[in-house]
Structure 1
Amino acid sequence: MKKLTEEEIYKKLESLQGWEFDNNAIHTSFEFEDFKEAFSAMVRIAFEAEVQQHHPDWTNVYNQVEISLSTHDAGGVTEKDFKLAESIESIINAGE
């Protein structure tokens, strides 16, 4: 998978509200009602990540989930990261 240029990354980020590019990855965070809701969203994302065979770097503290996506094999952000980011957004929006 080809690493995207910064210009390509910023162009693609225009369609992903709340995501930003920093330190060779795209990042976002979500705040949920409580831990159970945060963990539930993480489980749904985990199943999708497994289907895509592309896994996020993420952290969870109580109702906060922070996600970073980068394709380690390519040394940066690729189409795989944007595909998973779009799936994550769909999962989160479906849960609202």
Structure 2
Amino acid sequence: MARLIFCRKYKQELEGLDLPPYPGAKGQDIFDNVSKKAWQEWMAHQTMLINEKRLNMMDMGTRVYLNEQMLKFLSGDEYDQADGYVPPPKA
């Protein structure tokens, strides 16, 4: 049976992650408060940011930037989009 949590991003009860995505307190916070749906959307958005902005994951500044964007994304705050990004039309 799926574990349900109250998702910080979507403000509703949704299926939670199977395991914490990071070790320590940050991973536990995400595990307890972020839905599987929101996490999967963040992973796709993070990949888009890395590719479109040509981010170097070996650079500490890049990792700090992505962590800041992750916190904004998962909290429902304004977050960076890839340059020229146009969201798909809603059906």
TM-score by length of 2: 0.39
Higher strand residue share: 1
Higher relative contact order (CA 8 A, sep 6+): 1
TM-score, normalised to structure 1, is 0.37
